[in-house]
Amino acid sequence: MAINKVQLPDGTEVVIDEWLHYPLFSTIQIGSTGGNGDSTNLRAFSYVQGMRVPSTTNVTGSTRLADARDTNMVKRGGLNYDEAFILYAVTYEAFSLTESVNPGEDPFLNAPAPVLTAENLKRLQRDLLIEIIVGAQQQKPQLRSPFSFIGQSAGTKSYASTGLVGADVGFSQGTGGGIDARNQRRLELPIYIESQQVSFMKVSSPIGTIVGLDQQVRLRWYWDGLKRRPVA
């Protein structure tokens, strides 16, 4: 077992810890059908590699098992016995699983997968509610906000010389802001998650279906913060 407490001859107890910058991440998938996105009620940070990725009904391959691209959690729905976490910021990456073509526009907009259109990202930002729950059987979230309240600080920057990629064909790409650490949603008061404490992120659409969403979406959420590893 790891040694993380030392008692000095005068009775003083010293806790030896190693705190590392170690963002946690977890993926969810949202499907669409009939021009609307699925009603959503999913839990991120609730599984480990080898378990099913949380997905709504109409996601292609909705029974996909998680791998190292989906999560770096080592215990489902919480932290291991020798860990603790101080969460001070939240951000995300968004990917589409299907293409989007809107021929009704002039020029019509095209977004080949894994690009998510600006319109679809705005629909997600409009309809999704984000809640971080810490503690067993807790109903009151530590953080509750609409998706639009959370900026994007992770991902790949893209550039285009013009807005057109062909004759009367426009390219649409959604972004939650500049890819910069200053753009993530920083918490006024960091959230402390203790060893073996239950914790997860609930992603839901309280109004039901996500109106107008015409791409299947993969959202990878990040909890940015410090992770404690005891010194052995």
Q: How far apart are CA 27 and CA 222, in angstroms?
A: 9
Residue positions counted in the chain = 232
The per-residue pLDDT for range 137-181, each reduced to its tens digit, is 888 999 999 999 998 888 776 666 555 555 666 677 778 877 778
The per-residue pLDDT for range 179-188, each reduced to its tens digit, is 778 888 889 8
Task: Tell me which residue range forms the domain holding 183.
Answer: 14-230
The total domain count for the chain is 1
User: What pLDDT is recorded for position 3?
Assistant: 63
The per-residue pLDDT for range 46-75, each reduced to its tens digit, is 999 999 999 999 998 888 999 999 999 999
Tell whether 209 is covered by a domain. yes
User: What pLDDT is recorded for position 105?
Assistant: 56
The per-residue pLDDT for range 91-130, each reduced to its tens digit, is 999 999 988 766 555 556 667 778 888 889 999 999 999 9
Q: How far apart are CA 101 and CA 215, in angstroms?
A: 10
CA distances from 202 to 49, 57, 206 (A): 19, 17, 11
Tell whether 160 is covered by a domain. yes
Q: How far apart are CA 231 and CA 67, in angstroms?
A: 28
Q: How far apart are CA 190 and CA 186, in angstroms?
A: 8
135 token code pair: 């503690």
User: What pLDDT is recorded for position 230?
Assistant: 67
Tell whether 2 is covered by a domain. no
